[in-house]
A = this chain, B = another copy of it.
Amino acid sequence: MQIYNEFELIARLTHGLTTRPDVALGVGDDCALLDIGSDSQLLATCDSQVEGVHFTLRTSTPEQIGRKALAVNLSDIAAMGGVPRFALISLVIPPRFSQEALEGIYRGLRQEAERHQVAIVGGNIAGAGQGKQLMLDITLLGTVRRGQAITRGGAQIGDVLCVTGSLGDSAAGLFTLLHPDGTGAENALTFVQARHRTPVPRVAEGRVLSAFGPAVVTAMLDISDGLSGDLQHLCERSGVGARVFAEHLPLTEEMQAIAARVGKDPLDWALHGGEDYELLFTLRPEKAREVIEAVQAQTGTRITRIGEIIPSGMCLIAPSGTEQPLQVRSWDHLH
């Protein structure tokens, strides 16, 4: 392990960063200097990842931690239907933190940035003093064509409620990482653990959706807290309720196999698991088929109708047809 001072470390981590034509000035001055088109609005989001709270070096490699830290921010840009463009990376580093792990994290950040043509344009590195935990805080900037951003607040009664991909895989992956049973690698385990450690933000899907505009795709957000909790956010913001059909929830075979093996309810993971980073969105019913076909055709990602928007309340329809209240059991990031 080598020790660097702050400026050497920044130089080392940011050496040869990939850039973009709209970055007039990246890392190295007081601010980044950026061009955004005149027909665009700016999107800005930030999210932090704390060692021991959001990740551990026991269950993820440094590269995976870096990738995920950026991916969760990409997911927020995706959830507005935007194009991610510029990232600022803030690191707080405990004393004697492994230089090699730090470089691995930055390698993961760069990989994920390059995958989405995002330029890392600034950041900050601070020591943690007596602190014991690595902290990554990322601000991601993107753009969206004026008038096409999809907020959480536009869902209307009668809208079709849809979700990208599948639900609950990440929760299953986290469970197996926290409770290893020594059975070694097999396909289902590898799949759900990858879904937890390196979620794929639905950026392309969000862009196809926002191209239809908010009159068709009326509300959208990404599922980070769990379907139940994030659906509640959407309902509260839109002033509506929702009905979810349990048997329509998209569950993978891999997740169900893991659930059976460890004696968990797969529906529970799908409803409340968190960290899916899928998009949850509502469509005007007369346009639903067209939009769903467009997203599937252009991205290859499955879109599933899981419910509908009702005047108020949140309820779950069991496979038997009985209706029960849908309780929120979200992950609280503070406790």
A residues with a Cβ closer than 8 A to B are 4-6, 9, 24-25, 28-36, 38, 41-54, 76-77, 79-80, 82, 86, 88, 90, 92-93, 121-133, 135, 137, 139, 141-142, 144, 149, 151-153, 220-222, 237, 332-335
Contact = CB atoms under 8 A, between A and B. Distances in A.
5 contacts: A5-B332, A30-B220, A45-B122, A92-B137, A137-B137
A92 B48 contact: yes
Given A44-B31, A88-B139, A149-B33, A131 B129 contact: no
A158 to B, nearest CB: 22
Given A4-B334, A130-B133, 6 more contacts: A5-B332, A25-B151, A30-B76, A30-B77, A44-B86, A53-B129
Nearest to A9: B334
A334 B44 contact: no
A334 B125 contact: yes
B44 A88 contact: yes
A29 B131 contact: no
A119 to B, nearest CB: 11
